[in-house]
Amino acid sequence: MQTKEQLLKKLRPLGQTQLLTFWDELDSEQQQSLSLQIEEIDFDELNALFEHRNDPPASAAMADRAKEPVSFRLSDTREQILPLDDRLYKDYQYNPNEAIAAGEKALRNGKLAIVVVAGGQGTRLDFHHAKGIFPIGPVSGVSLFQIHIERIRAMSKKYGARIPFCIQTSPATHQETIDYFRANHNFGLAEEDVLIFCQSTMPSVDWNDGKVLLAAKDRIARSPDGHGGMLFAINSPQPDSPIPTVAEKGILAELIRRQKEEIFYFQVDNPVIDICSPEFIGYHLLSGSEFSSQVIRKQHPQDRVGNMVLVDGKLNVIEYCDLPDEAAQRRKPDGSLEIWAGSIAVHMMNIDFLRRKASYSSSLPFHIAKKKVPYVVLDPTLKNENGIPLYGSVLKPKTPNAIKYEKFIFDLLPQAKNPIVIEVDIQTCFAPLKNHPDQPTDNPQTVRKQLCDLYRLWLNNIGIRVADNVLVEISPLFANSAKELKQQLEKRSMIPDSGVIEQSVYWQ
Ligand code: UTP
């Protein structure tokens, strides 16, 4: 441990002595902890990032040259019961039936692993737990994690193969996620197929002066380093993992040891996602792509999704906040948006590609996010509404006050060979849980409705109507597509005589 004098000597030229404001009040254990936290910070990197905070993001400069990406549409095989008609897809580069066959073969041969990123702080939802624990089942109240795991178990059973499920957490959600999985016996997944790994963090700094914030008198404010932190987290030892290779070398080494070749990647907050869609996997494999992405057709120019674009022949994502209005509004001759492809953060990634990229921290740049970060007040003049000084207490700001530095996984796109873009249907494939119930969109009510609507559609497609205001929920273990639903209902003689479902149901 360094002494106060040694730390001051280091921090003074960096303008960061505020970190020692409460040093003399701390006991020796707290001092030791704070000293270690300070030693871990790469201040040169932090200062350089802060100096460049107002530089326009590289992607913004691309907007003028941005064109729509070449893409094709995923067939709605999960929703339909009829086999695909090849003739409808004659203009496609690859026939969807070929793609499905290629995807199914990879699944059957056990070449797939799944990564879900669940290390975010979920500040907009304001849930105060790991977001994956949020009860989203419209009838059952099951959590996001449970729905995902049941989809994985359904795919694993269908294709007779083990599919390891890797879950990215961050220090804020790590232990809680481990405890939750343990308490629920991994919702039926085999112990060795649950690989929980923790991403890294970055110090949060004051938006105005770049000074590192304190979360407590003895603790530096840190936040997870973005979903892109996954690239480095999967290549780092995870000492608390019960799986020896993961503990010593990391997730990538374990997946390579198990001869996995591709990763299906998604975000924890989308419960309608078609996990391991064979057709999507198949297009990725047939095109020799190292990084493939699902997109939806944007409904409005300023929709809050990353914009998938082609710039000088390379695929890139321009974040919605970096897309100038003029570019967002550009229209094609038929009146539709030119920049229409919104990324929904569902990707296929080649493991060898990730292995090559994970060795270089420069593979992914940091982005700047202006966020609300609670901090210890250091200004002796600051008082609350009752005139009581706030000095030394933790303040939860009402407006964004800090910079969080984050890496985004989609920055790998332009570095990948043969990346492809696949359009999916927004209604059946994308229902992100982002916001607090008092917000109008992407909130628990809208997400639950979209889940019900998906099952309603499956039922409609097999000739069963659901009465208005009736909720239907179907566990993926009961049926994971319209076709499976028809088989199940017939097998169990559960088709209502009237052809109408009159009461809310949860089939599991
Ligand atoms: P968001 O950027 O939507 O963040 O993350 P969030 O944490 O869910 O919510 P806010 O912005 O604080 O309100 C998209 C996905 O990426 C994961 C999240 O868990 C979510 O699944 N993520 C985000 C990480 O795994 N790590 C991060 O550092 C950030």
CA of 452 to the centre of ligand 1 (A): 24
The pLDDT score that the predictor gives to residue 91 is 67
CA of 131 to the centre of ligand 1 (A): 9
CA of 118 to the centre of ligand 1 (A): 7
Structure tokens at 371: 């966020």
The number of beta carbons lying within 10 Å of the beta carbon of residue 47 is 15
DSSP letter (8 states) at residue 293: E
Exposed e or buried b per residue across 229-264, where buried means at least 16 C-beta atoms within 10 angstroms of its C-beta: bbbbbbbbebeebebebbeebbbbbbbeeeebbbbb
The number of beta carbons lying within 10 Å of the beta carbon of residue 302 is 12
Distance CA(402)–CA(379), nearest Å, equals: 16
CA of 212 to the centre of ligand 1 (A): 22
Distance CA(483)–CA(83), nearest Å, equals: 10
Structure tokens at 204: 């949060």
306 CB near ligand 1 (under 6 Å): no
Placement of tokens 């001869």 in the chain = 259
CA of 269 to the centre of ligand 1 (A): 9
CA of 22 to the centre of ligand 1 (A): 32
Strand partners, 219: 216
The pLDDT score that the predictor gives to residue 93 is 77
CA of 124 to the centre of ligand 1 (A): 10
118 CB near ligand 1 (under 6 Å): yes
77 CB near ligand 1 (under 6 Å): no
Strand segments, DSSP code E, in 74-213 are 112-117, 165-169, 194-198, 201-203, 205-206
172 CB near ligand 1 (under 6 Å): no
Residue 456: CA atoms inside 13 Å, Cβ hemisphere, count? 18
User: Coil, helix or strand for 225?
Assistant: coil
Residue 457: CA atoms inside 13 Å, Cβ hemisphere, count? 18
Strand partners, 423: 73, 295
From the alpha carbon of 120, which atom of ligand 1 is closest? 7
- Residue among 114, 115, 117 to mutate when testing ligand 1 (max atoms within 8 A of CB): 117
Strand segments, DSSP code E, in 351-440 are 367-371, 375-376, 394-395, 402-406, 420-423
148 CB near ligand 1 (under 6 Å): no
- Residue among 267, 268, 404 to mutate when testing ligand 1 (max atoms within 8 A of CB): 267
- Residue among 114, 222, 227, 405 to mutate when testing ligand 1 (max atoms within 8 A of CB): 227
Distance CA(318)–CA(68), nearest Å, equals: 12
Of 167, 196, 172, nearest to 121 by C-alpha is 172
pLDDT in tens, the chain (508 residues): 899 999 999 999 999 999 999 999 999 999 999 999 999 999 999 999 999 988 877 777 788 899 999 888 999 889 988 877 777 676 677 889 999 999 999 999 999 999 999 999 898 999 999 999 999 999 999 999 999 999 999 999 999 999 999 999 999 999 999 999 999 999 999 999 999 999 999 999 999 999 999 999 999 999 999 999 999 999 999 999 999 999 999 999 999 999 999 999 999 999 999 999 999 999 999 999 999 999 999 999 999 999 999 999 999 999 998 898 999 999 999 999 999 999 999 999 999 999 999 998 889 999 999 999 999 999 999 999 899 999 999 999 999 999 999 999 999 999 999 999 999 999 999 999 999 999 999 999 999 999 999 999 999 999 999 999 999 999 999 999 999 999 999 999 999 999 999 999 999 9
What backbone phi and psi angles, to 5 degrees, belong to 439? -95, 155
122 CB near ligand 1 (under 6 Å): yes
473 CB near ligand 1 (under 6 Å): no
CA of 53 to the centre of ligand 1 (A): 21
Of 258, 297, 225, 217, nearest to 37 by C-alpha is 217
119 CB near ligand 1 (under 6 Å): yes
* Global pTM value: 0.95
From the alpha carbon of 121, which atom of ligand 1 is closest? 7
Exposed e or buried b per residue across 413-422, where buried means at least 16 C-beta atoms within 10 angstroms of its C-beta: beebeebbbb
Strand partners, 116: 167, 266
Structure tokens at 131: 């977001």
407 CB near ligand 1 (under 6 Å): no
Which residue's CA lies nearest to atom 2 of ligand 1?
A: 120
